[in-house]
Structure 1
């Protein structure tokens, strides 16, 4: 039921996960183009193989649309006041750290809505928890969203 573009993304990510690869992907598309359907299909098929996959979103509404979804702040203990708190809130010995190390795929929907610092904190936390110098701790991460929904940033003139 996936269209041609969805099938290409699905196959690329699925193969990378099942072959224990690493990497990050970004799925960009306007609302209604099937990003959530792609995430759901990917997560269902990988979970059916017994693989652990985490699904998060920048908002609670988007998280509710993905099976097993939670907000990124909740799942990865990202502080709301990110500018003043840069140290990881996840202990390497915690059950959450074990879950992160065991997971094969992390899907983050509505990523353009997140603060840049939240993504940087997430990346740093994965490296720390996984004791890795690889990007995102060597995990496969799929970011998705629609940059057309984000307002442009216009710098202040001085």
Structure 2
């Protein structure tokens, strides 16, 4: 929350971390995520459509190729089940997979999940020239560089500028001109949840 733990005087002495510990903490936290048995077997019971997406995404991951995907499905099509299968498969191999979601409440559904604003440091108010508030030397940047997969659920609930800001930030921290800096990104959402915007004009007659 942006506060220093030492201001609460929980111990008689201050708690401090050296620079390496600070940069490694994010990675260690991801590697320490406990994988449930249910998530581990999820990949064995996927339906045909889920299996196709699962195989396509992991083919990119294990061949170290850049790629971006969008999973579109209405509520009840078990998109979350697919995400859990992907996350469990990679984490069981001690690989980093970052799970984010636009909604704070829904973030608890995914193991190790967090909101996109928290994870990517996306500014709440920004213009077209802004990017995510992530330093190239930070532990978060290091985490995102080594991440084999990034999942962003409920992408459609965010402004398009947020996706653009993520692209700029990942290119910067990876020193790459590839889309999303060469990271493999899975965007997810349901276009049916987006309300149409109808612009109405009125005319006056004199």
Normalised by the length of structure 1, the TM-score is 0.95
Q: Deviations over 1:62-119 (max 9, x none)?
A: 2111111100000000011123870441111110110010101000000111101111
Q: Secondary structure at the match of 1:92?
A: coil
Q: Distance in 2 between matches of 1:31 and 1:123?
A: 27
Q: Distance in 2 between matches of 1:11 and 1:127?
A: 26
Q: Which runs of 5+ in 1 are unaligned?
A: none
Quote how far apart the aligned CAs of 1:154 are.
Answer: 3.1
Aligned pair count reads: 158
CA contact 1:62–1:110 (8 Å) conserved in 2: no
Q: Higher Cα Rg: structure 1 or 2?
A: 2
Q: Which runs of 5+ in 2 are unaligned?
A: 1-44
Match of 1:55? 99
What RMSD over aligned residues (CA atoms) do the two structures have, in Å? 1.5
Q: Distance in 1 between matches of 2:128 and 2:200?
A: 23
Structure number with higher strand proportion: 1
**1:1-158 equivalence runs, <5 A:** 1-83=45-127, 86-155=130-199, 157=201
Q: Distance in 1 between matches of 2:162 and 2:71?
A: 18
Between stretches 79-88 and 38-47, larger displacement belongs to 79-88
Q: Runs ≥4 in structure 1, deviation > 2 angstroms? A: 82-85, 153-158
Q: Give the structure, 1 or 2, with the largest relative contact order (CA under 8 Å, sep 6 or more).
A: 1
Q: Secondary structure at the match of 1:25?
A: strand
